[in-house]
Amino acid sequence: MWNSQTGRVNKLCELQDDTVTSVSWIQRGSHIAIGTGKGLVQIWDAERVRRLRTMTGHTARVGSLAWNDHILTSGSRDRLIYHRDVRAPDQWLRKLVGHKQEVCGLRWNCEDGQLASGGNDNKLMVWDKLNETPLWKFSEHTAAVKAIAWSPHQRGLLASGGGTADRRIIFHDTLRGSTINEIDTGSQVCNLAWSKNSNEIVSTHGYSQNQIVVWKYPSMTQVVSLTGHTYRVLYLAMSPDGRVVVTGAGDETLRFWNVFGRKPGQREEGDAGGGGKLGDWGVIR
């Protein structure tokens, strides 16, 4: 774990005869979920550097995790999705069967209680609350759907990105179960995240440029395209204030990009005497 205030790196855990295949922070608190190659899901307390529990159920690697308050959802190569209530002793609360291949993307819309799942079967599904039958099934993509993001600006607006054989970002209306529009990005879409402060969306890509692109929605005009990674940009996360994104790629580097502005009236971190490592980096626009 890297501390942005001190720049220090601390090791949380080292698995024996297993590999880390996914990680996800709880929305509030210091707990972090870890999925493993052997199908386990572990909960760790990052402050105390202590494992709290290990949960079973999956029979293959857990490649996607998503939190909704105390509900932790996991998706696996075994094609199953499990809802787990981390307050309860049970290993899992619900089992969702829908995808025909590996579940490679999960995102909760916590406000509306809807879960979006993407699979290697090229399907995007929307599940309502803890129901075991999907509310909607979208089949427009022609490659795996790993990149999924819910808009914080428009209720029911869901973006999804397709793999190498697809290359599109498609926007869906989950209130009506319809497709709104799409754009061909020209390369594999690895990840998506909406800006918290403006109606823009950032996408990360694979071959050939391995770029990070910021798009204005709904026009889908490019605001900026960022390059630097030498392999596909598989991982993307946003800072709590919504201004900085971090990307991780197969080139074994993490890169931090100060891409989004502040909300009106939001103070600079340095104004309060804070700062930290991120405060020294320039804004790209």
List the domain boundaries for the chain.
Answer: 19-97, 101-261
pLDDT above 90 (res 285): no
pLDDT of the residue at 3: 82
pLDDT of the residue at 220: 97
pLDDT of the residue at 7: 84
User: What tens digit of pLDDT does each residue of 91-107 get?
Assistant: 999 999 999 999 999 99
User: What tens digit of pLDDT does each residue of 35-84 get?
Assistant: 999 999 999 999 999 999 999 999 999 999 999 999 999 999 999 999 99
pLDDT of the residue at 110: 95
pLDDT of the residue at 150: 99
The CATH number of 101-261 is 2.130.10.10
Pick from 14-18, 62-66, 185-189, 275-279: least confident: 275-279
pLDDT of the residue at 261: 74
The counts of H helices and E strands in the chain are 0, 23
pLDDT of the residue at 6: 87
pLDDT of the residue at 265: 61
pLDDT above 80 (res 200): yes
* Conformation bin of residue 184: beta by default, left when phi > 0, alpha when psi is -120 to 50: beta
pLDDT of the residue at 123: 99
pLDDT of the residue at 282: 44
Mean pLDDT, rounded, for 175-191: 98
pLDDT above 60 (res 134): yes
pLDDT above 90 (res 276): no
3-class SS of residue 164: coil
HEC secondary structure over 113-143: CEEEEEECCCCEEEEECCCCCCCEEECCCCC
pLDDT above 60 (res 280): no
Is residue 5 within 8 A of residue 276, CB to CB? The reply is yes
For residue 144, CA distances in Å to 139, 179, 202 come to 11, 18, 19
Q: Scanning the structure block, which residue is given the tokens 């204005």?
A: 216
Class of domain 19-97: mainly beta
User: What tens digit of pLDDT does each residue of 221-253 get?
Assistant: 999 999 999 999 999 999 989 999 999 999 999
